[in-house]
Amino acid sequence: MVYLTTIISTLIPAIAFIPTAVFADRGHVKVIFPSDTVSQRTGDVSVNDPPMIGGLRDFELVVEKEGDIAEIPFAWTGYPKGQPDSKDEQWGLKCKVWAEKGFNEDIEFTLKYEVDGLAGPRDKKAHIRCENPQCYVDTCAFIPEVDSVSLLL
């Protein structure tokens, strides 16, 4: 009898997580950064996530129920072209990737060190946007514009 009680008391908490595991929408937003820029996740995870020069970041987004939005913020900084190790930041953006219910796939965005700073799908249930542009020098020739939803409106 004690054995049966132990099994039941172990299974009940596990069963409570089944709806989330089975019905949650899960996907990955992969973001490719230019080699002369630096990215870093911000928010609660920033301590465990060092700045990264260029490369690919894989953001896993889990949306548990209708009306929820999964969101991951990050910072994107530009340096003089070809000098990502420089201490001379040119510009910075506060960005985020997010998804809504129904996002069950992997998609990829490529950020570009150009005025139109985004290549990738704009008609999915996951998005990317960068806001709050900051110029850290006297004048910036440009700061990339990144918004996967602007063309949908």
pLDDT tens figures, 110-119: 999 999 999 9
Residue-number span of the structural domain to which 88 is assigned:
26-148
19: in domain: no
Query: Residue 21: which pLDDT band, with cuts at 50, 70 and 90?
Result: very low
Q: How far is CA 112 from the centre of its chain?
A: 16
9: in domain: no
105: in domain: yes
pTM above 0.85, yes or no: no
16: in domain: no
114: in domain: yes
Any idea of the CA torsion for 33, 38, 39, 42, to the nearest 10 degrees?
Answer: -170
How far, in Å, are 21, 30, 67, 70, 79 from residue 99 at the CA level? 17, 13, 11, 5, 29
Domain total for the chain?
1
How far, in Å, are 29, 110, 123, 139, 150 from residue 56 at the CA level? 10, 9, 21, 29, 23
